[in-house]
A and B are shown apart, each in its own frame.
Chain A
Amino acid sequence: MMRDIWLVPALPLAGAVLLGLLGGKIPARLAAVIGASSVGLAAALAIRIALLWFAAPPPGDAFLLPLWTWITLPKFSAVVGLLIDPVSLVLILVISVIGFFIHLFSAEYMEGENGYARYFAYLNLFVASMLLLVLANDLLVMFVGWEGVGVCSYLLVGFWFEEENNGEAAQKSFIVTRVADIAMLIGILILALRFGTLDISTVLHGAVSAWPPGSFWPAVVAGLLLVGGLGKSAQVPLQTWLPDAMAGPTPVSALIHAATMVTAGVYLVVRLHVLFLLAPAVLHGIALGAALTVLLAACAGLVQSDIKRVLAYSTMGQIGYMFLGLGVGAWGAAMFHLASHAIFKALLFLSSGAVSMRLHHEQNIFAMGGLRTKLPLAFAAFLVGALCLAAVPVVGCGFFSKEFLLGAVWAQNPLLWGVGILGAFLTGVYIFRAVFTVFFGASVDVSGAYGVRVILPLTVLALAALGFGWLQTPDFLGGANIFSNVLAPALGGAATDASWPVALIGMAAPLAGIGLAYALHQNGFWRRQGAASPGLFVRFLQGGMGFDALYRAIFVKPFLWTVRVLKDDPVDQVFQLLQRAAVGLHKRLREEQNGKLRRYAGWMMAGSLATILAVVFS
């Protein structure tokens, strides 16, 4: 049964190929069936493998399925293989199951759109790439999945390519992550040169025995790999593409933010955590960058008026929390937050998609209001997601994962913990700003009802978001540690629980944030903020703290200037000068060839005279 693991990425890939080849020729309904069922089958298979795994883990808690030899060179070889261990097992469950529900939702959400089959082909390819990424036993194979995810994000963000802005957003997401990937590729190549293979376990063992902790090379390699991870996971300073990536359809945002793409950076660090442990400086850098990201995302989230951009910044912040955990070495906690975030962020995006479905794709929260009674299902789903995101105590999975994670951060660095608490407070404020603005107050008109393909994903994900957290609870709530026990063979034991006051502050912060959001809703502050034209500072926050402007000034403008200069090939201009001189001379001389006999005779005489004079006087 374990050997069937290759089917998990192969099924969505087959779906993508099938839809890509037949796309235009089959009815839309069949395209949706193929798209959703390929991922659904992969999900069922992943669940079956997981059940077998938990019943009887294989020896060494890892199962390697070698497929074929890709490259054999005298000093280098690469074997394509799939590796199941607790980390990849958790991730294929998250990706395939949540991916399936997003496919199901898409089938209804995208109904009637042009390129329906093309959409599902991209979506399937996206899931297949991500599954390959997490299952790869070899960094080279992982890089294939990594780039596949990048390509699919480009295709899906620019899905509505008729509008120029969408194409630009797609290019931005592609180019920013590509720049990061170059750094990652250099890191991978250094490892390949040093160890002659990119097999992950061989490389990690080699690194531990070859490099002492804190030495130069692991810091360089880990730093370069980290840049790739930061780009994919939209962390400071490579976060600018994420808000623009909202140009894609809403289920795509759900897929990018929950199951695929942005979690790849977290996975990379977790997978290679042995290497990162050799480079403490890089880990400190991760923690610092993550703290910045958490604050930046929370501040930017406070002033967005587009509901999807609010969620985009919340993703950035939540991934920031994961990196905060990684920075202090809490791999298991980061993985737990990754899984729980995947559930509640998919829920949030899908419910916001469900809301805008009924409002003719309106996304401005100030154009909504009072939808609590009109769209009870979307309201309930969004509320559960928001409660999880804000980490309201005991209610959703977000509370348990954030509690777990911040507890680990507290044990390492109270200052970073303080930043995390501040971020949690602001998260509570901005997400409930959206909740109160969209679902309370004066109501707007909506029409239509949801089909089963929307109801089912929202219901299942909401239930999962409520229940998932109980896999890993703090001591005072039973002290379950099922999740960290699963991961223990790969990542080591669970972190110690934080003390009472720490946990209490962690619980109080989001509640205070929600209270503030409610108070400001009651006195109408949010509505006034939405109606007023934004001031300089607010616009600064809305634009993600000027990173876009900064990059435009530093990178984009000079690049475009260079392009304009080089467009006409300045070196070639020199040679063009020669050509122009020859052409000019030619024109001048051609005028002399006018066929006038007498002119010719005159010139002949003049030439003869000149020759005679030259002979006589020389």
Chain B
Amino acid sequence: MIVSWQAPASLALILFLLGLAALLARRNLVFVLMSVEIMLNAAGLLFIAAGMRWGTPDGQIMFIAVLNLAGAELAVGLILLLRLRGRLTTLDGDAAVLLRDSS
């Protein structure tokens, strides 16, 4: 069966909004990272849908690039997470306000 490009594009939108909702709603930084991954994957899906629409492999190439990027970002993000947990003994993102001046 031939799937129209609108379907994966719509799925990408739904995924992105889900990721965004999770990002805004969750305080646990692990879940924040996960929601960021979901948003990145939504963007990757949109690339593939765009490749379908114009009939080129560019979209799939960009998706591979996004996956690499996501992997690298996740590594940095997890390290930051570990350092933060070591310093604050919590994974609550709202507790990480040490740079804010007191007023």
Contacts and interface: CB of A to CB of B under 8 A. Distances in A.
Residue among A594, A595, A602 with most chain B CB within 10 A: A595
Interface in A559-606: 590, 593-598, 601-602, 605
Given A602-B24, A605-B20, A597 B93 contact: yes
B100 A601 contact: no
Nearest to A594: B100
B96 interface: yes
B15 interface: no
B20 A597 contact: no
Interface residues of A, number: 10
A593 B100 CA distance: 7
Nearest to B97: A595
A596 B97 CA distance: 7
Contacts of A598: 23-25, 27, 93-94
Contact of A601 (B23, B98, B99, B103): B23
Given A597-B94, A601-B23, 4 more contacts: A590-B103, A595-B96, A597-B93, A605-B20
Interface of A is mostly: helix
A382 B23 CA distance: 104
B32 interface: yes
Contact of A596 (B25, B94, B103): B94
B44 to A, nearest CB: 18
Contacts of B23: 598, 601
Contacts of B25: 598
B32 to A, nearest CB: 7
Interface in B11-36: 20, 23-25, 27, 32
Contacts of A597: 32, 93-94, 96
B20 to A, nearest CB: 6
Interface of A: 590, 593-598, 601-602, 605
Contacts of B97: 594-596
Contacts of B98: 595
Nearest to B25: A598
Interface string B77-102: 00000000000000001101111100
A64 B103 CA distance: 80
The list of the 5 closest CB pairs from A to B, nearest first, reads A595-B97, A595-B100, A597-B93, A601-B23, A598-B24
Contacts of A605: 20, 24
A604 to B, nearest CB: 10
A601 B94 contact: no
Nearest to A598: B24
A419 to B, nearest CB: 78
Contacts of A595: 96-100
A601 B27 CA distance: 12
Nearest to A597: B93
A589 to B, nearest CB: 13
B81 to A, nearest CB: 12
28 contacts: A590-B103, A593-B100, A594-B97, A594-B100, A595-B96, A595-B97, A595-B98, A595-B99, A595-B100, A596-B93, A596-B94, A596-B97, A597-B32, A597-B93, A597-B94, A597-B96, A598-B23, A598-B24, A598-B25, A598-B27, A598-B93, A598-B94, A601-B20, A601-B23, A601-B24, A602-B24, A605-B20, A605-B24
Nearest to A601: B23
Nearest to B35: A601
Residue among A594, A601, A602 with most chain B CB within 10 A: A601
Contacts of B27: 598
A416 B99 CA distance: 90
